[in-house]
Amino acid sequence: MNPMTVLRDALYFTQRNLGQIVMLCLPLIILETIITQMVSSASGPDASPGYDLLVGLLVYPLYTGALILFLDARSRGESPRNSDLLARALSLWPNFALLSAISTLAIVLGLSILVLPGIFMTIVFAFSEYRLVLRGEGPLAALKSSVLMSRGHVWQIFTCVAAVLAPLMLLKELTFSAFPKDENLFLSLALDSLYSFLQLFLTVVVFRLFMLISESFDSK
């Protein structure tokens, strides 16, 4: 499993389906960004980062779940309606939000103790959302399955994740250095929304990894 091939396949898929991905996910991402900015403005500069996490738990499971369902449907040659994808994602929201809360807290705890444990948990939990959405597993079962799936593939997963996130983090740093967030509310909204949308490419990349590894994992 060559990481470069995975990235190339994910990029090809994204280019061919960009329009529907935009229509499916971007409105919810903009809503998430608006709510986050409103909460930040109301709570002040010394607000706990936990507020942003709570906002993310409200909206992130909806557009990510819908995107995963879309990726799965397109991989089988189907063309689902956005309304159907969002309705299905809404039904998955309670378990997806719980999964996101557990995995995020575990990763943040790992990063706060030592950086490497947090990075490692990011890698081994990478497939948990797909197990929950596509295999119908509960949050804890999805986390366990993800850890098992990642065995023997940690380096490939890490390479793909780093190849996507490293340029995005650099882009975000350069962008907000050139255009400080506090100077223009609408520019800040646009940049935050754009950055969150670009991160969806990682969902496509990890889905490709998930499908490749699932072929052998599910047959055991």
**Structural domain count, the chain:** 1
pLDDT for 195-216, tens place per residue? Answer: 999 999 999 999 999 999 988 7
Neighbour tally for 1: CB within 10 Å: 13
Establish if 138 belongs to a structural domain: no
- Of 140, 142, 195, 138, residue with least CA distance to 171: 195
Domain that holds residue 18: 3-92+152-215
pLDDT for 107-131, tens place per residue? Answer: 888 888 777 888 899 999 999 999 9
Question: Which band of pLDDT confidence, cut at 50, 70 and 90, is reported for residue 66?
Answer: very high
| Position 24 pLDDT exceeds 90 | yes
Question: Which band of pLDDT confidence, cut at 50, 70 and 90, is reported for residue 187?
Answer: confident
- The SS3 of residue 72 is helix
- The SS3 of residue 27 is helix
Inter-residue long-range contacts of 100-109, CB under 8 Å, 24+ positions, other chains counted:
100/56, 100/57, 100/60, 100/61, 100/129, 101/53, 101/57, 102/139, 102/140, 102/143, 103/128, 103/143, 104/53
Establish if 17 belongs to a structural domain: yes
Establish if 139 belongs to a structural domain: no
Res 182: pLDDT:
64
Name the maximum alpha-carbon separation found in the chain: 55
CA–CA distance, 69 with 130 (Å, rounded to integer): 9
4/1: higher pLDDT: 4
Question: Which band of pLDDT confidence, cut at 50, 70 and 90, is reported for residue 220?
Answer: low
| Position 44 pLDDT exceeds 70 | no
Establish if 134 belongs to a structural domain: no
Establish if 191 belongs to a structural domain: yes
Establish if 202 belongs to a structural domain: yes
Establish if 145 belongs to a structural domain: no
Establish if 58 belongs to a structural domain: yes
DSSP code string of 163-218? HHHHHHHHHHHHHHHHS-TTT-HHHHHHHHHHHHHHTHHHHHHHHHHHHHHHHHHT
